[in-house]
Every structure is written in structure tokens, then in C-alpha cells.
Amino acid sequence: MTDFGNAGAWCREIWQKYIHEGDTVIDATMGNGHDTLYLAQAVGESGRVYAFDVQKEALEKTRARLEKADVLDRVTLICENHALMEKHVSCEVDAVIFNLGWLPGALHDVTTNADTTIEALKAALRLVKAGGFVTLCVYPGHAEGERELEKVAAFVKDLDDKRFDAVSRGYENIRLKPPKLFAIAKKQ
């Protein structure tokens, strides 16, 4: 059967292709740390991952996951709004990833917010080096997620095509509103 996959898998395809050993990357939404762990393994011992979340619970879960995999030493865990990522990361980075929404398995009252997501995306595009990229996985199946999708889509559409290449990928015909991928590459 033909299976086009999903936004989470499309993100990973991009990370797999363009994140290399020694890279410096940001996970703007660490959550339970699955993506942070993926990044830590991809950048290897010589790389660095900065991971952000506003919930202490996310940091604790991620720390335990990274410790178990013996990669905690290459990750900096930061309890902060990702819109303020430049307070904590002063170097250029190879990639920034966003997996929006709420902490899986926790209450849904702390979710990413369309306005701060746009501020964080602007910061990410300032920090990412020429040749680097940003991915976002957006979940429009809830009210704030729908607002995020609208705002992110409008923001991305307006990006200067001399400086950035921006693409999106998602299903056109599914009423349950599955997640959508946005990927932005900063030109050399």
C-alpha cells in the first residue's frame, strides 16, 4: 500500500540528511526528550545540543532519557521560553527544530503559543548559519495549534526568497487536521 508517512517522519528525514557529527543544534521544544536524544546521537561527542522547554517536568524526563543513553554531557537543558533562546545561545547553529503543542502524557494546559512561536522562529532564523535550516512540526488539531498553523504559514510565505528557501508538506484531504511540516533553509 502507498503510505506518504507523516510530518514527524518528514522532519526526521530532513534531520537525518542534514545534521552531521560535530554540529551545534537547538531543540526548541524538548518535551519528553525523544527528539533531543535523536539530535544528541546525531551530533556525536564533538557536537552540542541546546534544548528548551518551559516545564521542569520536561527537563527531568529528558535528563533521565539522555543519562540512560549516556549522551547527557553533549546537551545543555534550559528551562526557558524558546522566544528567549538568544539569551542562552550566542553562537551560530546548524539547525533549530520545533515540535509544537503540549507535553505528551501531561495536561494540555501548557501548549506552545502562536505569538511566542513566531518570536522564537525569528530568533531561530537569526541564530541559524548560512547553509543551516529550521524545521517545525505544527499540530492544527486544537484551537491554539490552528492559530499557530495560520501564523507560521503566513510568516513563512513572506520570507525573503533571496535569503531563505521555505517549503511545507501536509495532507490536503484529511478532516482531522493532521500535523504539517515547515522547513526553512538559510541560503549561503
Ligand X SMILES: C[S@@+](CC[C@H](N)C(=O)[O-])C[C@H]1O[C@@H](n2cnc3c(N)ncnc32)[C@H](O)[C@@H]1O
Question: What does the binding site for ligand X look like in residue numbers (CB under 6 A)?
Answer: 29-35, 52-55, 58, 81-82, 99, 101-103, 110-112, 116
Tell me how far, at minimum, the Cβ of 81 lies from ligand X, in Å: 4
Put the strands of the sheet holding 180-186 in their side by side order. 75-79, 48-53, 24-27, 93-99, 128-138, 180-186, 164-169
Tell me how far, at minimum, the Cβ of 54 lies from ligand X, in Å: 4
Task: Return the number of the residue (87 or 187) whose C-beta is nearest ligand X.
Answer: 87
**Main-chain phi, psi angles of 160, to 5 degrees:** -65, 120
Task: Return the number of the residue (54 or 166) whose C-beta is nearest ligand X.
Answer: 54
Residue 131: closest CA among 160, 94, 159: 94
Measured from each CB, the residue nearest to ligand X is: 31
Give the single-character DSSP code of 51: E
Task: Return the number of the residue (12 or 186) whose C-beta is nearest ligand X.
Answer: 12
Tell me how far, at minimum, the Cβ of 111 lies from ligand X, in Å: 6
Residue 97: closest CA among 153, 49, 144: 49
Q: Residue 158 in contact with residue 99, Cβ under 8 Å? A: no
Residue 104: closest CA among 61, 65, 63: 61
Tell me how far, at minimum, the Cβ of 162 lies from ligand X, in Å: 30
Neighbours of 167 (CB within 10 A): 12
Residue 134: closest CA among 151, 148, 117, 146: 117
Amino acid type, 114: A
Tell me how far, at minimum, the Cβ of 10 lies from ligand X, in Å: 15
Residue 71: closest CA among 39, 105, 102: 39
Tell me how far, at minimum, the Cβ of 100 lies from ligand X, in Å: 6
